């Protein structure tokens, strides 16, 4: 990052989290103007965003459509699960190795989708052979869902093998790519995934406010009337965009949408997803190297670690995360507590407007804390 870019940063703490994340000053700046939802310019921009999302996903516009939805990423996941028939004709298989796979299971329970859960250890990637064997035993399965980057630990699940294998079995596929889309290359055409879900405040580096679904139109057209929710009806949301030149069905987060358009521009200026993936990977490698040298143990091995967020074990039984968190926050960094159920841990995100120099400053502080712990 150029020195003038660093100097332009505000004094707010850097978010080393998997979304919301630290955004650029220019993304923040575009939110200082108010906009109307019926404005033709706004609708035109919405359509432009939808086309750009397809381009990022390497998805053909003849086969796929980007559907934007007010709300967080979980809203997008729930809207997608609402497309599944609620009668005995459909059974969803959810591969789970973390909190966000488990959340899909909870959503399915709440909205009445019949489902089976295949549970993996939180530090184990979803295994194709186990999934295939499970599907063979349960021929009633019609849909399959998996989280690409499970930020419980930072593990990356192998959708490049999982999804084509399910497609070959004529199973409808759903990928929660919340924390990977825009930061890790994903080729929707090659995968032929039916629904890929992400949100505005992740690797594209926008701010929270809406989710989006890259949907196979041939599947989506068959889901009319499936949703029991009005606001989370993905089919109706799609039809409104298509039939009314980019009009959102209900009041949309206009400031967030303008910020997202700016974030997409900056992603392109950086060199696209491949270049952003390279920067995130450099952040993660630098973090891992220096944290190990400082005496911390990563939970995952590098072979299954995504560049999005890295989990570390507590360095000792006396380690108090709250004190550690406040120490870093007071000095300009916000990190996350751990979510791994079987061990005490914390997580550090590597995505957003974050560079290796920021990682170095962070680990310098962590080394100082470890050498002279600050008590609350």
List the CATH number of the domain containing 250. Answer: 3.40.640.10
Q: Quick: pLDDT tens for 259-302.
A: 999 999 999 999 999 999 999 999 999 999 999 999 999 999 99
Stated pTM of the model: 0.94
Task: State the residue range of the domain holding 350.
Answer: 3-24+272-371
List the beta bridge partners of residue 156.
149
Where residue 303 falls among pLDDT bands split at 50, 70, 90? very high
Confidence grade of residue 10 (pLDDT, cut at 50, 70, 90): low
For residues 50 and 362, what is the distance between their CA atoms, to the nearest angstrom? 36
Cis preceding linkage at 130, omega within 30: no
- Whether 247 and 317 share a structural domain: no
pLDDT at res. 342: 83
The residue among 211, 236, 267 that closes a domain is: 267
Residue 6 has pLDDT above 80, yes or no: no
The answer, yes or no, to whether residue 8 has pLDDT greater than 70, is no
Task: Flag whether 376 is in a domain.
Answer: no
Q: Mean pLDDT score of the chain, rounded to an integer? A: 94
146 in Cβ contact with 95 (< 8 Å): yes
On whether both 235 and 277 belong to a single domain, the answer is no
Asked whether residue 46 is assigned to any structural domain, the reply reads: yes
User: Which of 96, 129, 133, 93 shows the shortest CA–CA distance to 113?
Assistant: 93
pLDDT value at residue 339: 82
| Per-residue DSSP letter, 243 | H
pLDDT band at 235 (very low <50, low <70, confident <90, very high): very high
What is the average per-residue pLDDT within 184-190? 96
Residues 165 and 183 in one domain: yes
Give me the pLDDT at residue 376, please: 44
Is the predicted pLDDT of residue 222 greater than 90, yes or no? yes
Cα–Cα distance between 130 and 147 in angstroms, integer? 16
44 and 15 within one domain: no
CB 118 within 8 A of CB 93: yes
How many structural domains does the chain have?
2
Residue 296, domain member (yes or no): yes
Question: Does one domain contain both 40 and 82?
Answer: yes
* Same domain membership, residue 42 and residue 16: no
Q: pLDDT by residue (tens digit) across 364-375?
A: 999 999 987 554
- Is residue 332, in this structure, part of any structural domain at all? yes
Residue 202's pLDDT band (cuts 50, 70, 90): very high
Please give the sequence-ordered ranges of beta strands (E in DSSP) within the chain, or none if there are none.
Answer: 14-15, 64-70, 92-96, 115-119, 143-147, 149-150, 155-156, 172-176, 195-199, 210-216, 309-313, 333-334, 336-337, 345-349
As a three-state string, the secondary structure of 110-162 is HHCCCEEEEECCCCCCCCHHHHHHHHHHCCCCCEEEEECEECCCCEECCHHHH
Percent of the chain with pLDDT over 70: 96
3-state secondary structure of 278: helix
Per-residue model confidence (pLDDT) at position 372: 76
- pLDDT score of 188 more than 70: yes
Same domain, 83 and 206: yes
Please name which of 23, 50, 104 lies closest in space to residue 252, comparing C-alpha atoms.
50
Please list, in sequence order, all residues whose beta carbon lies within 8 angstroms of the beta carbon of residue 232, skipping any fewer than 6 positions away.
69, 75, 78, 79, 82
């Amino acid at each position: 990052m150029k020195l003038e870019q660093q100097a332009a940063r505000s004094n707010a703490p850097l978010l080393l989290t998997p979304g919301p994340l630290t955004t650029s000053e220019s993304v923040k700046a575009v939110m200082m103007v108010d906009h109307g939802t019926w404005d033709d310019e706004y609708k035109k921009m919405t359509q432009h965003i939808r086309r750009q999302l397809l381009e990022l996903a390497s998805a053909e516009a003849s086969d796929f459509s980007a559907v934007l939805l007010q709300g967080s990423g979980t809203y997008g996941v729930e809207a997608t699960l609402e497309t599944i028939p609620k009668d005995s004709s459909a059974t969803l298989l959810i591969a789970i190795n973390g909190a966000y796979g488990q959340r899909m299971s909870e959503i399915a329970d709440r909205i009445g989708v019949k489902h089976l859960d295949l549970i993996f250890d939180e530090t184990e990637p979803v295994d194709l052979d186990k999934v295939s064997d499970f599907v063979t035993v349960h021929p009633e399965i019609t849909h399959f869902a998996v989280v690409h980057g499970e930020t419980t630990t930072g593990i990356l699940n192998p959708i490049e093998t999982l999804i084509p294998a399910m497609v070959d079995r004529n199973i409808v596929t759903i990928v929660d790519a919340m924390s990977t889309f825009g930061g890790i290359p994903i080729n929707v055409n090659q995968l032929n995934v039916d629904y890929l879900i992400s949100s505005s405040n992740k690797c594209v580096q926008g701010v929270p406010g809406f989710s989006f679904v890259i949907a196979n139109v041939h599947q989506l057209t068959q889901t009319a009337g499936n949703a029991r929710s009005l606001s989370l009806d993905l089919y109706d949301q799609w039809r409104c965009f298509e039939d009314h030149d980019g009009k959102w069905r209900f009041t949309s987060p206009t400031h967030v949408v303008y910020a997202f358009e700016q974030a997409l521009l900056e992603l392109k200026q950086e060199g696209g997803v491949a270049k952003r993936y390279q920067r995130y990977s450099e952040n993660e490698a630098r973090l891992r190297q220096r944290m190990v040298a400082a005496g911390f143990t990563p939970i995952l091995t590098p072979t299954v670690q995504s560049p999005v967020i890295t989990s570390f074990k507590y360095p000792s039984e006396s380690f108090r995360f709250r004190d550690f968190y406040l120490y870093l926050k007071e000095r300009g960094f916000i990190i996350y507590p751990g979510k791994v159920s079987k061990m005490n841990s914390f997580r550090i995100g590597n995505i957003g407007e974050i560079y290796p120099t920021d990682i170095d400053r962070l680990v310098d502080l962590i080394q100082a804390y470890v050498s002279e712990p600050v008590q609350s």
